[in-house]
Amino acid sequence: MSVGRDVPHLRVIYRSHGGENSKARPAYYSKLLALASFVRAAEAVDPAPELMFVNDGSIPAPRLALMESRGEVLSVSAGSNRQSYRAVISLALDRAGAADDVVWFAEDDYLYARDALSHLAAAAATVPQADYFALYSSESLDLTTSRRQPTARPEPGAEGDPGAVVLGRVSWFRALSTTSTFGVRHQILREDARLLRMCPFTGGAWDHTTCLVYQGYQPFSAAQLRTELRSRAALPLGQSARSIVRGFARATINLRSLRRPSRRRVLLGSDPELIAHMETCEGDLGMLPSARTAAIDWGRVAAETVAWAAEHSISVALSATDRDRGAAQ
């Protein structure tokens, strides 16, 4: 991958919801901790990024106060993850920006390393052909296959990737996919906006689907589409209608993946992962298994974030175990 040095402006849209779900979380998890870690990471970026906080529903006072002290705060009545995602895509389009500016879409349950957004800005400046950016992605795209179905390399991250770009402690590689927390250049966002807003209607892991489609890969095989449309037709009327809509959305997205080479996007991922989705597996006290996420002691990052928050008069609770971990650094 070739490199350049122009410094793009970073804009961040942090999407938050006042409620909680039933996902298993690490002991130190809280949305206030996630927000504090994000703000800490944003303050480490030079030049300072533009911050917008978009809230779906009522937000607890401590989180709202921190948001209001750091950037613009907007409220939406989306009512679902799909609709709030579509709303922030539209909001980003309403803001002017240079073509190479990077918009970072952030969800509210990620823990950020302090230098996460600084590394994002460095990658955007150094690798001009990168269109999308991921700070949470271990699967590496196999570029040696010409098939329309995507293939992951057996090695995670940048391991064994001769095309990886090394910037300080982070190696950047061609990633397979990421979540709905991602970065994109402003011009690419404008060109891909309709696609990004359509993908949530495919259901399932639509963030993964989105990443495959904009890179020019078919997310669904013809056999999958036929099976789904046939099986859904036998459901009760209400369920059948929704399922058929989803089936046609998937077929349409498959067609949209037939992009000419100049429209196939490049998704760049960081190794190690610089943010962590605060979820746990059953019987596992740590993060979801990922060799690249595990390269960072996230319990320590949590403790460091709490210490930073205390210095800024923000009270974030932490378990005794994680407080001890931070004190031992």
CATH of the domain at 116: 3.90.550.10
308 located within any domain:
no
Per the structure, the complete domain to which residue 224 belongs is given by: 200-256
Q: Output the pTM of the full model.
A: 0.89
Residues 20 and 117 in one domain: yes
Report pLDDT digits (tens) over 257-292: 888 888 899 999 999 999 999 986 543 333 344 555
Residues 103 and 21 in one domain: yes
- Answer with the one of 256, 287, 304 that is the final residue of a domain: 256
Euclidean distance between CA atoms 31 and 52, whole angstroms: 17
pLDDT at 156: 87
| Pairing verdict, β 72-76 and 50-56 | parallel
pLDDT at 241: 61
pLDDT at 192: 96
Q: How far is CA 69 from the centre of its chain?
A: 24
What residues in the chain have per-residue pLDDT under 50? 282-289, 320-329
pLDDT at 198: 94
240 located within any domain:
yes
Residues 180 and 102 in one domain: yes
Please count the structural domains in the chain: 2
Residues 177 and 236 in one domain: no
Task: Annotate 65-126 with DSSP letters as a single string.
Answer: HHHHHHSEEEEE---SHHHHHHHHHHHHHHS---TT-EEEEE-TTEEE-TTHHHHHHHHHHH
Residues 108 and 180 in one domain: yes
Residues 142 and 232 in one domain: no
Helix, coil or strand: residue 36: helix
pLDDT at 222: 77
pLDDT at 248: 80
290 located within any domain:
no
301 located within any domain:
no
Euclidean distance between CA atoms 183 and 190, whole angstroms: 13
In residues, how long is the chain? 329
Report pLDDT digits (tens) over 115-124: 999 999 999 9
pLDDT at 255: 86
Residues 166 and 62 in one domain: yes
pLDDT at 282: 43
Euclidean distance between CA atoms 116 and 127, whole angstroms: 16
119 located within any domain:
yes
Residues 79 and 48 in one domain: yes
Residues 77 and 219 in one domain: no
95 located within any domain:
yes
Phi, psi of 63 (to 5 degrees): -70, -45
Residues 179 and 68 in one domain: yes
Residues 21 and 104 in one domain: yes
313 located within any domain:
no
